[in-house]
Amino acid sequence: MSGQAALRRDVAIVSWASFETPSEPARNEVEMLLPVVQEALGKVGLTQQDIGFTVSGSSDYLQGFPFAFVGALDAVGAWPPIRESHVEMDGAFALYEAVNVLQEEGIDTALVYAFARPSRGEVDRTLALQLDPYYVAPLWPDARGLAALQAQAMKDSGRFGDVPDLPPTYVADGCVAVVLAVGDRARELTKTPAWIRGIDHRIEPPSLGVRDLTTSPSTIAAGDAAGAAGADAAWLHVPYPHQELVLREALGLSGATVDSAAGPVMVGGLERLAAAAAGIAAGKARRAVAHATSGPCLQQNLVAVLEGVAQ
Amino acid sequence: MSEPVTIVETPIKLDFSYTPGVASSRFLRSLEKGKIVGQRCPKCKKVYMPPRGACSMCGVATDEELILSGKGTVCTFCVTRIPTPGLDAPYVSAWIRLDGADITSMFLIQECDPEEVRLGMRVEAVWVDEADREPNLGNIKYFRPTGEPDADYDTYKDYV
Ligand SMILES: [Zn+2]
């Protein structure tokens, strides 16, 4: 999809709320999510029954609980039955689905949320299960080890100057909720909607051996389709510090203010979209890029372009 | 031609620590004391047992707690005639609506002939000895008939 052209209806981020802590000791996923969902809805005076489409991003593998994403619906209340979906990915990719569903007449609002408590498991090992189940996952290459291969390839390329050393995988628990609305509905709900002018996501081959890990063709393609050129600020999802260098190059961000964060796994990307919307609402940026990634070594990348004025 | 490979074994093992949550922790601690604590939804007033801290239908926290009696009514049941580890066949599993609760939960029914179990039968919880209790639902060994007259169909017809 070439972002701007394909959005028949203008969609804006109108509200958001988030929570992050190094390790949530006592509350379960639903208890962590409830106040955050309520806050995001409450800021624009909505209840779950006003929402046309609900979608979440999370991974049951982190919770070790089959259909954990269904249990999380306790945090929104699915009665009378709601129109709902889920992606086993970062919540940013759930937002992409919501933007597409909002192109349908009759659905004017969407709630997107993401949650994870990776502090309770072994996230580096758990993420190995994203890999090829027959030839790669049984070797248990941990997430940090794969990121280190990428950092080493960058050092060897000589293209990046100083490549930062690899810290331990960032582990935090948290959740984020984002409310979307279309056209006049968005203008009713807030004085400062952050309009999604373009959004696109691309994936690279699953086999790490066929990729050049020092570049991110999927980010370049998603950025082109979303219209990232000319942005004056960017909110990048950077699970490991060296990846910021690859993303800056892929998005051509020279001259733009860049804010990078990892965030909790499955949550960090959607948090970047919320942070970019906050930047637009606060007048810190005119045209903002929000980026989210999922998978090993920036395998999948989503780029959205936000502005304070509608098309 | 060599034979095609039809099976590849790739064992996977991950360890998790489960967090019941704040509301479920209170419920589990009460079970150690031999009490069944339900939670009421402030919006639709439904009482959840076991409580999970939020009303599935309304999406709000269920903060109000109330102690249930430990007696209930059989809403539906199944007789299993194949033994399972720790259970000799035949055994009876039943969905029981505890008095005061608005959802049913599954328990075993013992101390009676499986053929006697029926919808509307009144049953009560049989607890593990106090010294052996842990914070989990296993503290209720099973339910047994109370001998009371069967409940009126109207009191459980929505749960069959
Ligand atoms: Zn309720």
Q: What is the pLDDT of residue A2?
A: 46
Nearest to B19 among A28, A61, A126 (CB): A28
- Check whether A194 has a pLDDT greater than 60: yes
In the predicted model, what is the mean pLDDT of residues A210-235?
A: 97
The residue segments making up the domain with residue A129 are: 123-157
Q: What angle do CA A73, A74, A77 make, to 5 degrees?
A: 80
- Residue A181: count of CB within 10 angstroms of its CB: 27
pLDDT tens across A111-163, in order? 999 999 999 889 999 999 999 988 898 899 999 999 999 999 999 999 999 99
Mean pLDDT, residues A24-28 taken together: 93
A129 touches chain B (CB under 8 A): yes
> Are A116 and A128 found together in one domain?
no
Do A175 and A67 fall within a single domain?
yes
A178 with A69, same domain: the answer is yes
Which residue carries 């569903």 as its tokens? A101
Helix %, strand %, coil % of chain A (to 5): 40, 25, 40
Confidence (pTM) = 0.93
Q: Find how far residue A57's CA is from the centre of its chain.
A: 9
Rg of chain A (C-alpha set): 18
Residue B10: predicted pLDDT: 86
Query: Under an 8 A CB cutoff, do A27 and B21 touch?
Result: yes
> Is the pLDDT at A1 greater than 70, yes or no?
no
Residue A3, pLDDT above cutoff 80 = no
The overall average pLDDT reported for chain A is 95
**Same domain assignment for residues A176 and A135:** no
* Residue B94, beta-bridge partner list: B77, B107
How many angstroms separate the alpha carbon of residue A31 from the centre of ligand 1?
15
Contact B28, B34 (CB under 8 A): no
CATH number of the domain residue A261 falls in: 3.40.47.10
Q: Which CATH number fits domain B69-160: 1.10.1450, 2.40.50, 3.30.2130, 2.60.40?
A: 2.40.50
pLDDT band for position A185 (50/70/90)? Answer: very high
Q: Between A and B, how many CB-CB pairs are < 8 A? A: 83
- CA A11 to CA A181: how far, in whole Å? 6
Q: Are residues A57 and A184 in the same domain?
A: yes
Q: Are residues A75 and A19 in the same domain?
A: yes
DSSP sequence for A136-165: TGGG---HHHHHHHHHHHHHHHT-SSSPPP
Q: Which residues lie closer than 8 Å to A148 by C-beta, 6 or more apart?
A: A166
* A175, β-bridge pairs: A19, A115
* C-alpha distance from B20 to closest chain A C-alpha (Å): 6
Average pLDDT over residues A195-216: 96
Residue A177 sits in the same domain as residue A74:
yes
Cα-to-centroid distance, A50 and ligand 1 (Å): 17
List CB contacts (< 8 A) between A37 and chain B. Answer: 59
Amino acid in the structure at residue B93: S
- Most B CBs within 10 A among A46, A60, A69, A74, hence the mutation to make, goes to A74
Residue A163 lies in a domain: no
Average pLDDT per 10 consecutive residues for chain B, totaling 160 residues: 91 87 94 95 95 92 94 97 92 96 96 96 97 94 98 93
| pLDDT value of position B13 | 87
Nearest CA in chain A to B10: A138
Residues 19-48 of chain A with CB under 8 A from chain B are 24, 26-28, 30-31, 34, 37, 48
Separation of B52 CA from ligand 1 center, angstroms?
Answer: 12
B146 to chain A, any CB pair closer than 8 A? The answer is no
pLDDT value at residue B12: 85
Structure tokens at A139: 């070797």
Q: Is A234 inside a domain boundary?
A: yes
Rounded Cα distance between B67 and B133, Å, is 18
- For residue A218, which of A230, A206, A209 has the smallest C-alpha distance? A206
Does some domain include residue A164? no
Q: Is B3's Cβ below 8 Å from some Cβ in A?
A: no
Do A31 and A177 lie in a common domain?
yes
Judgement on whether residues A113 and A255 belong to the same structural domain of the protein:
no
Per-residue confidence (pLDDT) for residue B1, from 0 to 100: 78
Q: Inter-chain contact B12–A138, Cβ cutoff 8 Å?
A: yes
Residue A254 and residue A301 in one domain: yes
Q: Where are the domains of chain B?
A: 20-68, 69-160
Rg (CA), chain B: 20
Query: What would the pLDDT profile of A59-97 be if each residue is shown by its tens digit?
Result: 999 988 889 999 999 999 999 999 999 999 999 999 999
Q: Is a pLDDT exceeding 50 seen at residue A241? A: yes
Distance from CA of B26 to the nearest CA of A (A): 11
Nearest-Cα residue of chain A relative to residue B56:
A74
Verify whether the Cβ–Cβ distance A138 to B17 is below 8 Å: no
Residues A179 and A153 in one domain: no
More confident residue, A261 or A136: A261
What CA–CA distances, in Å, run from B145 to A219, B103, B153?
65, 20, 17
pLDDT value for A310: 65
pLDDT band at A311 (very low <50, low <70, confident <90, very high): low
Q: Name residues whose C-beta falls within 8 Å of residue A256's C-beta, 6 or more positions apart in sequence.
A: A231, A232, A233, A234, A289
Question: Do residues A246 and A258 make contact, with C-beta atoms less than 8 angstroms apart?
Answer: no
SS (H, E, C) A30-62: HHHHHHHHHHHHHHCCCCHHHCCEEEEECCHHH
Number of domains in chain A: 3
What distance in Å separates residue B41's CA from the closest CA in chain A?
A: 12
Task: Report B:21-80 residues touching A (Cβ under 8 A).
Answer: 21-25, 52-61
Whether A171 shows a pLDDT value over 60: the answer reads: yes
pLDDT attached to residue A6: 66
Nearest C-alpha neighbor of A302 from the set A123, A90, A27, A66: A90
* A7 and A130 part of one domain: no
pLDDT-derived band at A226, boundaries 50, 70, 90: very high
Q: How high is the ipTM of this complex?
A: 0.87
